[in-house]
């Protein structure tokens, strides 16, 4: 009888890092490419294993909204949308967390209903079924009942819906500071320490 021993799959060089995470950042064609850029700016590939996958329309939005293109920190690994050889396309090797930022309602709906025709959608399916952390950052208004029902399905499945709703009590002075108030919440839910935005002051006695 063959005997199998379970072996944790960890990329070389990451084994002994405290709070190490394998994070997949997925970028879709919703407006708000700067949200994805600022998230990548604040994820350290020397501390975490970072992967990126983009939808077809993400490239068009990035070309419109980020004139210098998407800046990827050295060490970030990119994957083709149609490559099912990506490690996170299988439940045997899921990422610790996946963030879809920004997330179109089309992508959100496909994830909610289990469509997995490309590696981005398949990865989200894997993250949900393996009970890992899936954070979706939709940027849409107004919402239809279809959107709300898809939110409900995803919340019941264990996803975190984190809309791109910035805060203003910090008195942001630039677009980047506005964006950072959302990215800070994403980092909080990933468990990655950050000082991107001031915290709400504790109530004084």
Provide the mean pLDDT of the chain: 91
Segments making up each domain of the chain, as ranges: 22-190
Q: Are strands 133-138 and 49-54 parallel, antiparallel or unpaired?
A: unpaired
The model's pTM is 0.89
- Examine the pLDDT at 14 and tell me if it is beyond 70: no
- Mean per-residue pLDDT for 109-118? 96
DSSP 53-117: EE-HHHHHHHHHH-TT-PPPPTT-EEE-TT-TTSGGGSTTS--SEEEEEEE-HHHHHHHHTT--S
What confidence score (pLDDT) does residue 6 get?
Answer: 37
CA nearest to 49, candidates 87, 88, 86, 75? 75
Encode pLDDT of 126-135 as tens digits. Answer: 999 999 999 9
* The CATH number fitting domain 22-190, selected from 3.40.718.10, 3.40.50.1950, 1.10.357.10, 2.40.50.140: 3.40.50.1950
Written as six digits, the tokens of 201 are: 């002051």
């Amino acid at each position: 009888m063959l005997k199998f021993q379970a072996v944790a799959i960890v990329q070389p060089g990451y084994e002994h890092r405290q709070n190490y995470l394998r994070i997949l950042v997925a970028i879709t064609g919703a407006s708000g490419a700067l949200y994805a850029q600022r998230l990548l700016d604040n994820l350290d590939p020397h501390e975490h294993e970072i992967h990126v996958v983009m939808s077809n329309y993400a490239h068009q939005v990035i070309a419109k909204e980020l004139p210098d293109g998407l800046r990827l920190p050295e060490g970030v690994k990119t994957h083709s949308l149609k490559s099912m050889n990506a490690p996170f396309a299988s439940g045997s090797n899921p990422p610790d967390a996946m963030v879809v930022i920004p997330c179109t309602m089309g992508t959100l709906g496909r994830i909610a209903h289990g469509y997995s025709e490309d590696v981005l959608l398949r990865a989200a399916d894997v993250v949900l079924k393996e009970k890992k952390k899936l954070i979706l950052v939709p940027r849409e208004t107004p919402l239809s009942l279809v959107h709300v029902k898809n939110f409900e399905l995803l919340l019941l499945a264990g996803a975190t819906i984190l809309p791109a709703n910035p805060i203003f009590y910090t008195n942001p002075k630039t677009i980047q500071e506005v964006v950072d108030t959302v990215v800070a919440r994403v980092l909080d839910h990933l468990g990655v320490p950050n000082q991107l935005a001031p915290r709400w002051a504790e109530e004084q006695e």
